[in-house]
Amino acid sequence: MNKSYLVVIPARGGSKGIPNKNLRKLHGKPMLLWSIETALSVFPNTQILVSTDSQEIKTVAEQTGLQVPFLRPAELSGDTSPTEPTLLHALEWQQKHRSPVDAVILLQPTSPFRKPGTLERAITHFESSGGNSLVSVTSNHSFFWRNMNEAEALYDFENRPRRQDLNDQSRWYRENGSIYITDSKVLIKHRNRLGGRICMFEMSEEESWEIDTLQDLIIVEALMQSIPQVLI
């Protein structure tokens, strides 16, 4: 690892889709802990910040040995609050109270299923690519349409391609919400997790579920039960 990093795990207490979502049990533990354990497998606790407005979430996070030195301000914790101000708030705290870092890693608790080694591979890809920011994606082979009133295909339906015939230029990639890495200076300048030269990091389909609904929770639970060896 050639750069220094701060891992930020944002975990609000409020959630409308799934009440108390970040603490819902997933494969035997609160969902939040999957992201914390991924971070701890790579970084010491002084390079990890859980940003939360909830005392209950703070307590659960601290049971892993993490220090959670502050509760997130209310103005950054509303239902419509974007993530970037939370990243900037955590980065500012880190630089003031600990040490400056080259880049910020965002791990969202709602994307809990990351295989061992995936985060390390993402960091290696970020550093070797020379990029200023990284977004994790998964390959998407679906055939998309738009405009319900005047159907418009986003592919050549007269020459429908086979999945195995798609070349790299023809592939679509879906942002999966699991891992973002941003150069600290880029984050401060653009106030966005993505900026400058952006590189993509491909993750497997099973790692790319975002938990927003109870149906998502059921699916990810089933995945974890069916392939538990990848969680070791």
pLDDT digits (tens, 9 = 90+) for 103-112: 999 999 999 9
Average pLDDT, integer, range 137-148:
82
The more confidently predicted of residues 3 and 156 is: 3
What is the pLDDT, as a whole number, of residue 165?
62
pLDDT at 14 over 80: no
Of these residues, 146, 160, 162, 163, which one is catalytic? 160
Nearest Cα to 17, choosing from 228, 210, 220?
A: 210
% of the chain at pLDDT higher than 90: 71
Q: What is the CA radius of gyration of the chain?
A: 19
β-pair partners for 196: none
pLDDT band of residue 227 (cuts 50, 70, 90) is confident
Mean pLDDT of the chain: 90
CA 139, CA 204: separation in Å to the nearest integer? 8
Average pLDDT, integer, range 164-187:
84
pLDDT at 190 over 70: yes
Q: Report whether 187 contacts 82 (CB < 8 A).
A: no
Helix axes 55-62, 31-40, angle to 10 degrees: 40
Is-catalytic flag, 160? yes
pTM as predicted: 0.90
Classify domain 5-138+174-231 by CATH architecture.
Alpha-Beta Complex (3.90)
pLDDT at 231 over 70: no
The more confidently predicted of residues 39 and 228 is: 39
pLDDT at 36 over 70: yes
CA distances from 140 to 108, 145, 166, 168, 176 (A): 21, 14, 11, 12, 11
Nearest Cα to 204, choosing from 122, 149, 147, 148?
A: 122
CA distances from 55 to 72, 78, 208 (A): 10, 16, 29
Kindly give the pairing relationship between strand 29-30 and strand 25-26: antiparallel
Q: Which residue has the tokens 């992201």?
A: 35
What is the pLDDT, as a whole number, of residue 20?
87
What is the pLDDT, as a whole number, of residue 26?
94
β-pair partners for 229: none
